[in-house]
Amino acid sequence: MEIGYGMGEATWQIAKANSSTNYLGVEVHMPGAGKLMARLDEYELTNVRLIERDVFEVFYYMVKDSSLDGVHLFFPDPWPKKRHFKRRIVNERFLNDVHAKLKPGGYLHIATDWVPYAEWITEVFSNTKLFTGGVVDRPDWRPLTRFEGQGISKDHAVNNFRFLKA
C-alpha cells in the first residue's frame, strides 16, 4: 500500500519492477490519479488499484487485519506550523492502524526531506513497542519522487525510515 501517492511516479515504477505483486494506492487529492493511470496504461500494469479516500477510512472499512506486506509513506505533508501538528499523519492512531493491517513481519517505509518532521517521526516511534527499526539508507527499490527531487534541489536532507511490525 502506498499512502499519498501524489503524481504516482514512485507507485508505477515500483509496480513495474514487481509486476507479480499487487499494490494499492490511497490518495485524498486526485489530480495525480489521471497521470498515474496513464502510466499504468502505458506500461500495461494491471497490479495497481487506486482508492480516493482518507487512509483511516480505508483501514477501517476496506483492509483486513494482517493483510498487508508493507506500507509506503513517501514525503507526507509535514504540516510545519505548530498549530497544524495535529494534522500530521504519523501519530499514535496511524501506528496502531498500520500495525493492525500489516502481516507479521510487515514493514512501514517512510521518507521525508523535512528534518523537523524526521525528528517528529523518531519521537512518535520511540513511544511505541509496536514496531522496531529506524533510519535507513534509501533503498535501491525506492524511486526518486518529485517532492524528493525538489527537496534535494533545496539542499534538504532526505531521511528514510524502515519499521518492522514487532
Give the residue from 35, 71, 44 showing the smallest Cα distance to 146: 35
Residue 116's Cβ-count burial label (10 Å; 0-12, 13-18, 19+) is exposed
Beta bridge partner(s), residue 135: 161
CB 134 within 8 A of CB 161: yes
Question: Phi and psi dihedrals of 100, rounded to 5?
Answer: -65, -35
Is 54 an active-site residue? no
Catalytic residue, from 41, 77, 113, 140: name it: 77
C-beta of residue 23 within 8 angstroms of C-beta of residue 51? no
Q: Active-site residue numbers? A: 77
